[in-house]
Amino acid sequence: MNYQEFQRHVSKAGLKIHELAELLKMNRSSISNYAKKGEVPAHLAVIAALLGEMKEKEIDFQQVISRIEFAAKSPRGAGHNKFGGNKQQSLELENKIQKNK
């Protein structure tokens, strides 16, 4: 699904992107970054379409989702909350070469 269609479904559900992110316990940037790509992953497309349809049928999806226990998605990437990311560890071979000098 392209990002514009995704936004249409999110709006149909009566939500803004940041509200959808909060509802799904995701980082707002993780969702809005798909605008640059132009496409959204299938799972977000399905969720947005279902929420839009539920709203149209006057089903309180927020109540339904609030009953589901799930953890927030953990941040990805080595640079998360660290300037410059994590330093890579030396390879064993490199350590052995250094010891033999």
Name the phi and psi angles at 2, rounded to 5: -75, 165
Among 40-44, 57-61, 66-70, 73-77, the range scoring the smallest mean pLDDT is 73-77
Residue among 66, 82, 73, 67 at smallest CA distance from 44: 73
Predicted structure pTM score: 0.70
Work out the percent of the chain whose per-residue pLDDT is above 90: 64
User: What pLDDT does residue 57 have?
Assistant: 96
Half-sphere exposure of 47 (CA within 13 A, CB side): 15
